[in-house]
Structure 1
Amino acid sequence: MAQALQFCFDDAADAAVRGLWRRLDKAGVPSLATRTHGRHRPHVTFALAGVIPPRTREDLRGDLRLLSIPNLWLSTLAAFPASEPVLVLAAVVDTELLAVHSAVHDVLAKKVKQPSAYYLPGSWVPHCTLAQGIEPAQVTAGFAALYPVEPIRARVTEIAVVDTHTGTAEVLVTG
């Protein structure tokens, strides 16, 4: 089991990502929605750990309410070359986004169990997952189905700690 700090999108951005998921499924590339049986919403993950304890969640809730959360611009179609490749729509990285990410990790530092190095400052590539655990040929098919992709402006409307296996979420902030 892992717990993720996910920043979820407004209705228009959510619908746009779901439209990309449908295009992938139609092209024979199992989207994140298909692979997780619809348990997960479109989002950008800011942190991932084995456990984000309740007290740390409260600390996050307090700090996140004080931050100005920038809009996310999802504009770069990309793939992570893992043993099971991942197709993503990467976000434009700017100082505001990095400041929020850094503030999140200031709260989480030494308070979570088994933090994922991929989401730590300096390693993090902010993205919305479109498909994961796909075959190399499906990466090519996914690019063909989605390219060129229209940039998506995503306003963050909910921040939650989500169990990555069940999709169960504890909402920390809405707005």
Structure 2
Amino acid sequence: MTGDTPSSRCVKGLFNLYKAAYPDPAALSPESAWCPFESEMMIMYAIELFFDHPFEQYVREIWKGLNEENISSNMYEIVELRPHITLAVYNDISDLETYKERFYSFFGSVSSIEIKFDVLAVFPTTGTLFFGPTVTEDLISMHKQYHKEFSDLLEYEDRYYIPGNWDPHCTLAIKLSAEQAVEAMKYCYKDFRPQRGKIVEAGVVKLGYDSNNRLSSPTVYSVSIVGERGMAN
């Protein structure tokens, strides 16, 4: 990094904090480290909120750009992955067909949510670069209502997604070393502007892992979210 501009000082500061906390890149956990199980092939299920087309394409272009710049290819290469906010993650849903009926019923009664992404940040423990949304009452309410409706699945759920622990975000890159995190931040920072979008769809996504690497993320089924909510301030 050369020069002494506000952006260079920002990423240098991030780099120093990151290296101090995690001096050994090998010690960094991938985003999939929230899963307490490891096996040759591992399946989990995520409940994901999907965006309108313009914002989805905006995120996809970032994934593509990080890949083309040889900074990070992990999000770009996950099969069938869509930009999203994760609402819940389960190590098992024993009866997908019964859950499907309840899933359609719940999301058929909620409204779409206007959302603003104005934060670009990193989770150091997982090397995850992400967009953070403005956390509105509508977003928190949807999360709480979902967990109230599906409280019987709590024993199967990853604790980071339950009410009180949830940190909503849209992932741009994962498993970054300290150096990669700085380069990825610089790439996204140079043209960063707050983005507005809309949550218009919810899906049940089958997460396929090989050890700690996510290989695929196909949507098993999904439902459009209709109705309108107010714009995030």
Distance in 1 between residues matched to 2:49 and 2:221, nearest whole Å: 10
| Residue type at the aligned position of 1:33 | M
Give 5+ residue unaligned stretches, structure 1.
none
1:41 aligns with 2:105: no
Amino acid at match of 1:69: S
Describe the SS at the equivalent of 1:18.
Answer: helix
Give the Cα separation in 2 of the matches to 1:39 and 1:76. Answer: 26
Query: For the structure 1 residues 32 and 73, does the alpha-carbon distance in structure 2 shift closer, same or farther, using more than 3 Å as the test?
Result: farther
Does residue 167 (structure 1) correspond to residue 210 (structure 2)? The answer is no
**How far 1:27 sits from its partner (Å)?**
3.2
Is 1:105 the counterpart of 2:114? The answer is no
1:112 Cα deviation (Å)? Answer: 5.3
2:108 corresponds in structure 1 to: 65
Q: Percent sequence identity over matched residues?
A: 25
TM-score by structure 1 length? 0.89
CA deviations on 1:30-76 (whole Å, 9 max, x unpaired) are 1443341x420111111111123422332122111111231222221
CA distance in 1, matches of 2:74, 2:116: 20
- Residue 28 of structure 1 and its aligned partner are, at CA, apart by 2.4
TM-score by structure 2 length? 0.69
**What CA distance in whole angstroms lies between the structure 2 residues aligned with 1:170 and 1:121?**
24
Pairwise CA RMSD: 1.8
Q: Tell me, yes or no, if the aligned pair for 1:72 and 1:91 is still in contact at 8 Å.
A: yes
> What is aligned with 2:173?
131
Deviation for aligned residue 1:10: 1.2
Seen in structure 2, the aligned counterparts of structure 1 residues 93 and 7 have a Cα distance that, compared at 3 Å, is: same
1:76 aligned partner: 119
Superposed displacement of residue 91, structure 1:
1.1
How do 1:24-35 and structure 2 match up within 5 A?
A: 24-35=66-77
Give 1:98 deviation, angstroms.
Answer: 0.3
CA-CA distance at 1:134 after TM superposition: 1.6
Paired amino acid for 1:64: F
- The match for 2:21 is none
Match of 2:37 in 1: none
User: Could you tell me whether the CA contact under 8 Å between 2:122 and 2:130 is conserved in 1?
Assistant: yes
- Work out whether residues 49 and 85 of structure 2, in 8 Å CA contact, stay in contact via their aligned partners in 1: yes
Structure 1: distance between partners of 2:181 and 2:120: 11
Alpha carbons of structure 1 residues 123 and 76: separation in structure 2 relative to 1, 3 Å: same
Could you say if the C-alpha distance between residues 72 and 32 of structure 1 is closer, same or farther in structure 2, counting changes exceeding 3 Å?
Answer: farther
